[in-house]
Structure 1
Amino acid sequence: MAAIGASLSPAASFPVYSCQEPSQTVLKLKAKGIPIMPARFAFSVDRVPETSMTAILPNNGIPSVKVNGEEGTLAEKVKRSENKKDEEEEELNRRSGWRSYVEQSKEIAKPDGGPPRWFSPLESGSRLDKSPLLLFLPGIDGVGLGLTLHHQKLGSIFDVWCLHIPVADRTPFTEFVKIVEKTVRSEHQRLPNRPIYLVGESLGGCLAMAVAAHIPDIDVVLILANPATSFGRSQLQLLTPLMEAMHGPLSLFPPEILSSISGDPLKLLDNLVRGFPLQNTAKELLEDFITFSGSLPVLANILPIETLQWKLKLLKSGSAYVNSRLHAIKAQTLILCSGNDRLLPSQQEGERLCQLLPRCELGKFEGSGHFLFLEGSIDLVTVIKRVSFYRRGKYHDYVLDFLPPTINEAKEEIKANSLINTLTSPVMLSTLEDGTIVKGLAGIPSEGPVLFVGYHMMLGLDLAPLLSGIFMERNILVRVLGHPFLFSRKEMGIVPELSIFDGVKLMGVVPVGPTGFFKLLSSKSHILLYPGGIREAFHRKGEEYKLFWPEQPEFIRMAARFGAKIVPFGTVGEDDIGNLLFDYDDIVKIPPLKSALEDLTKDIPQLRTDVVGELGNQPVHIPGFFPKVPGRFYYYFGKTFETEGRKLELKDREKAHELYLEIKSEVERCLDYLKEKRESDPYRSIISRSLYQATHGFTSEVPTFEI
């Protein structure tokens, strides 16, 4: 990540870079009293040249996995990592966010008499080409290290600057707004086609919103963690009289004495507040600040009583300032709120702001406290990827802006879907080039572009085992072409909360359509297309395993343009895990439900508007699907159809239609084969599978029918 050079007098101990004239406000540091910072902290006003990396990575962006020094599959890597955690994960678990924050704050928090300033927390390195700028606006501490756990991952996709507010600084809120706004305007002028991310926590959240209200004409993206706009409804405002009462006793304990005190710091806090009003409230409100003994001396340096009093005034003025300007905020916004925030009513505030801001999404973290970014369980980059918030242009491009999941992210998604994999014990078959059917996925082409087309089970129940199976066995990330309603964030009443689809977005789902399809083919991806769409996935009674493919072979002609391999497949098993009790025809007979479906249809983008009859678009609905003792899922990938060298031939609609019918027939053949063969599977029932694993080990692979 490109560090940003310091503007210092010669006596300072920092490097001075000779680069272009600074584009933001020049905030020079005084030579006298400047602490020697760790190498990764470089106070900034100038730039050094950026390094870059390719935006679209080979192998669909999945890094090759090596086992014992040799190339290996993801499955081998996952098995190894079950016993030995990834180095990054080990480091994250070994050192808490608080400890890392405190250790790095020891030097940067020392008073130097300077003004507020930006710094880059990273040394020079590689990041994505055309990385957007991310400005971090700190909370009440002002240090600027609130993202310390996230710097490395953020630095691979953003140009990261952090705002540092010295302890003795008394800049009013409105002046902070001007400082940040001036930086945003100058950076926008320098690179007008890239968005600027404002990440703010608590007080920084207020600051980010205030800046966004001032510059509705500039493309900014807000990511706000527990924003302090609810200060007027919190108990934090009660701390002001308490701080005045505690001023005397606390001033008797300079940091040198506090550092020698051993034991539970909460006991020390009990002694300090005993006899003063609100002692129980104060203990609860400040508990997050002192989670371990060694942090208290550093925190005493960061937030002495006078500074804390000033920060509380900033919170009050900032909250009032922003609440009077919410109507002017037009920026794309993501609010992250904690369910266990003792300082602010963050969840209620997040819900309120989402109702008021026009382009707002809400993420809830039920077990988290106020300092969300310092909790090891939270990964900001993963959060951004799950809600498709990363973009390098005016709009998010689901192909060019896609950030492939890391090994750990993929493991977590697979783990989240482990129940359906356990219940259905998927059997996967594929076809080799010579036509031989084999167990496993050896018959799937390794080199893209590859297009999988097949039958879509009820409610898309087949999707998670299919994607995880290919990912685990072949180390291939399949990009799904999904219905637009997966990407809508509107409240849809009878439809489940849309955050349940964030996992498939993390794994690379793309809105179905010619543009996304074209880009995926051009990047040589493995692509999954369900020609039957939601008409197939939300079919009616008696329509199991029936294809609803429209007579439009356009995907054939597009695939031929790039010489893609087309792999038809069938999936069987939905009738073994549940019964369809009431379908769309039953729902529309009930007036209230019919009205709700009509309203829902208006909010969802429509597909196949040019197709009439049964094959046309069907409104999204939730059928009544009653579960039963689980059977088993079966997947069969048929013979591969080559389109390489047939581009001109398949431009002819009749030729394309002939191939289309062949592929459709192959999917139906795969379905018939599986329905027949599963009858001879002795382990089709979960009961028989459980008995087998009880005698052979619960991690053993359960056999199936003879091929």
Structure 2
Amino acid sequence: MRLRACLLSAWLFAVDGFVVPASRSHHAVVVKAEQPANALNSESTLIYKRWDGGGSGSSANTSKQLLLYLPGIEGLAISAAASQFPALSDSFDVYSLMISSRDRSTFEDLIGECSSFLEGALAMRSMDKAVLVGESFGGVLALALAGRRPELIQQAFTINPATSFPDTAWPRLGRLLVRTPPPVYTLASLAVFMASIPDADQIMDVAGELLDPRRTTPLSQRPLRLARRVYGLFRQISEVAANLPQGTLDWRLQEWMVRGTALTIPLLSTIPVSVTVIAGTADRLLPSAAEAQRLSGIIPDCSVVELRGHGHAALFDTRASLYSIVNSKLTPSQLRSTEADVTSGNMKPGVSEFKLPDANTVALARRAVGVLRRGVSPVFFSTRADGTIVEGLGALPDVDPNRPILFVANHQYLAMDLSLIYDQLLEEKNILPRGLGHPAIFDGRAQPGPLGTFVRDVFSAFGAVPVSGKNLFKLLRQKEAVLLFPGGAREAYHLRGEENQLFWPDKSEAIRMAVSTNAIIVPFSAIGAAESFNVILDTRESLDSPLIGPTVQQVASDMPSVRGGDDLFVAPLAIPRLPRRQYFLFAPAIYTDDINKNDRERCDTLYIDVKQAIFQGIELLLRARESDFYDDPVRRLAYEALSGGKPAPTFPLYVANKLQRDIKQ
């Protein structure tokens, strides 16, 4: 791949760019921003048009981040060019794909051509990744590129993406439209575009030229200004229609929209690239607002920006600033360079940069964990494939360098389980799992002052990264052992009376990522931490307190959220009491070899099975510890003090195995 990119970069024009070799019947060429749209001549049906912002420069700016805009089905950049590209050009080297009405590229052809352009353009810049912006059909193409060629893409932004096309009336209406007589087709296509593309605000903006509520234009001049605005709107819509003659529209509906969405939708759940879906809430062409929410539930690392009152041509005017949206999603280091995932200064760890801690660091950490172990006397059990429970972690699968392991568990109170899990996995299996922590940890805000910095550094030293779908997928793809608490902060900071409950998201995307990477899934359950504290005020009670509520609310509002406000990273006010013993039970490993990642129903069922395994493990441990004479902290601590530190025994294995059979029945 690198060789291909270097060969392509050798073809770069001294002024503007390069020609992509024509392996099919069409050509792609880079042109200057000041060249007209009809630069799509008989020799080139795909053009990468460069926008230089000021209109005077012509050379590609290799010091800026590359941004590639992918248009809608019409193949032009009409909606965004005048209103959005000038501002974007301040921070990005902006190119727009433009497609002639003669072009007969398949969807696969477009993926290949865009990939070739990105490879060559990035090689010229000594950068690894570009920013993609796709509108309508271009949003489908951007998502397909993010799924097929994620190594080329920093982030993807989609505006009213047409992924909902198969579920609308347009496949049927489109077939009817392309079969009408030519004169009828011209009028009908114009009528369809006029009725569905402009939104109410855009129409009222045109009408405002006549009404002129601010009285800035003399009455005699208003009809002329109105005529100019109506003509301008009509001309732009006419350009869309002119670039979509019947044969072209018929081809693109079938090859781009029908086939393109069919190829893209299965990729959505495994896209490792961060995606932002920008949706106009008044889109009459497609159900974009609802589709944005649907996509956010499928794409692992996806956020939604709603443009209130905007229609399908959401970027047509300056009411929305694409520049502001894009810049708000990219960190300063991503704008300057795409080489690293680490944000300098904040020490946010990347997925790939992790190096195992040295022996001295591990030894120091384990000595610190030893203090907690002596207090809670943890006991660990694992389960063989036949359902037999054994002491220790001997039933866990060994590390396989060719496939990842995903450990999935409930999160105990105040995350008191975390260091114990790491310590035991290292001791018995020589496994150091990569953890996924709340973003507040990596901002140094998990604890006040220097303590927050210390916590951040400890998490980073042992390979933890901020929790996100993208980071989880990257870790699994690197064949790492990964530790995931789906309940996250919601379980670690659970409210009074919610002990040993699961608060998991409805989405099964983590399991689908595990399936797509052929991971081994190991569910496990834990109890004991919640009973080691007396709760003075839980998180909700602290927020509602008239005395400290405003301060707590301010702290909560400053914290980043992972689950849309359902995971407030605000610790309860609790004081420790004599610690209860902590119990851990690992369920049988689940192998995903025979599961199809595109079988959503099967993945959803597996998600429920994993959750049920953990819930049953919690129930078993709660019942089994009733037979543990040394669960009482006074007896246990006294026994261990008199025995010179020897761990107190726990319930017999036959109790656990009998309960296992009873619960399964």
TM-score range, shorter chain: 0.3 to 0.5
Higher helix share: 2
TM-score, length-scaled by structure 1: 0.42
TM-score, length-scaled by structure 2: 0.45
